[in-house]
Amino acid sequence: MKPAALDMPHPAIPNYFASHWRSLDYFNLYRLTLAMAMVFGGLMFADSELFFPSAGKRFLNFSFAYLIIAALFVLSIRARWPSFQVQLTAQILADILIVMLLMPTSERLVGGLGMLLVISIASGGLVGNGRLTLLYAAMASIAVLLQHTFSILGGYQQLDSFFQIGLLCAGYFAIGWLGHALTQRALRSETLAQQQAEELALLNRINALAIENSPDGLLAVRGDGVVRHASPRALTLLGSTLTLKPGITRLEALSRDLAHQMQNMNAGSSLSLSTPVAQLRIRCIPLATPDDTRVLVLEDQSQAEQAAQRLKLAALGRLTANIAHEIRNPLSAISQAAQLLREDALDTAQTRLTTIIENNTQRLDRLVEEVLTLNRRDRLHPVSFDAATLTALIDELRQTEEIPANAVIVNMPANVTFQFDPDHLRQIVWNLLHNAWRFSRKQTGSIRFSARMPGGHGMQFEIQDDGAGIPAEHRNKLFEPFFTTDAQGTGLGLFLARELAEANHATLAYVPSESGACFRLDLHR
């Protein structure tokens, strides 16, 4: 049975660990065993010639007292009171006292009883921190010398026996010094081991956080296809909802395609894999272990592409910001010249040419403005919106786009309230409203704007039209920059709207619907 001291918390005293209390418990277990053996010997040989006349009963009484003391020490160790060093010193003093009381009971047992103190001194040094080991040796030596002196004065011992006692005391100090040296060495090793354990635990926590928050998924798979570890991100990218059991779950249970392709993967190789969640690029890194464990790094290609697009647009935004003045001045001059040409146009052909010039200058100006807006997306000035202000914004944009009032149906609860940058919200709603009207049937109720609070928290806004909808082959490219099916479009509208939404901690997504196109703006609280 495990000693109760193993389950106790670490002591509050510096340089003492749970192992010290465990060793003290074992030391006292030795004391209990020795006391029971002494009681048994006293019962068996109390009336024999082993003891001095009438001394056998005294030996038995002292043995019983020693057994009771050892039992009381068991309780104090369990309670961890008093402190460790006090308990250790008390136990060794009890050993010295009992040995001094037992020595006068038998001439034959003097040497053996004296040797018991060697065990106590050595144990005191190894169990404790070694600081008082030499003190224990000195106390034991003084006690043995005093007891032997009284024995000589009482006529029980000869004067020449002092030489034997002197050797015994020298042994006490030798054992004490050796115990002190070994204890200090063990203490340094244990302190170092604890420091290394704490550093290792910290490193493990750092690694766990790094793996958990990594945009890439990590899988550790043995050569026989058993998964040793899988990060939450890896399970998400694989689209698996299976509860992973490390060392038991096989890779086939997570992804059959990946398990099949992994058989042909070598060190440093990579492959592509399509999952219900993402398009993945998987790299294989061997660990050179006996079980041929390999780490699979799952990279979401869509995120990499989005990062590359953001870098491209950021560079484009910086470039446009620097040359916007130089671009807009010529555009303004070209536009004014086209207007003058229109006024002096002599025939329809010239009018058509000036119209082309004006349309393209407006398109270029709009492209510059959208890129500049994208470059300023992080400049947030959120304000509070409610149902009235949002309705007024929609009505204003509707009039700007010359959309009939009966074409837009607004349905939202009266308690709508949220925070958003007004310029960003205007740009997002304008873009969605403009596209919805352009592709709708342009009838009464062609555009529906609705708002709701799912689950009682957050806000969701949806704009849906009654048009032909978006072809399936175009849905994955809706939010890509410069993708457009309109010859007059810039391809930045939806991309810019999504970027502005994310800058306000919201998400903009396309929602498949039975008729028309539906876009959802989800505000997180």
Q: What is the pLDDT of residues 68-100, one digit of tens each?
A: 999 999 999 999 899 888 999 999 999 999 999
CATH 3.20.20.70 fits 213-300, yes or no: no
pLDDT in tens, 18-30: 778 888 999 999 9
From its phi and psi, is residue 15 left (phi > 0), alpha (psi between -120 and 50) or beta? left
pLDDT band at 187 (very low <50, low <70, confident <90, very high): confident
* Main-chain phi, psi angles of 89, to 5 degrees: -65, -40
Residue 278 zone, left/alpha/beta (φ > 0; ψ -120 to 50; rest) = beta
- The pLDDT mean for the chain works out to 83
pTM: 0.44
> For 31-52, how does the pLDDT look when each residue is reduced to its tens digit (9 = 90+)?
999 999 999 999 999 888 888 8
pLDDT at 373: 66
The answer for 482, left when phi > 0, alpha when psi is -120 to 50, beta otherwise, is: left
Q: Which one, of 18, 69, 12, lies nearest residue 39 by Cα? A: 69
pLDDT, average across residues 420-439: 89
Domain 383-523 in CATH 3.30.565.10? The answer is yes
Quote the pLDDT of residue 14.
45
> What residue spans define the domains of the chain?
4-200, 213-300, 304-375, 383-523
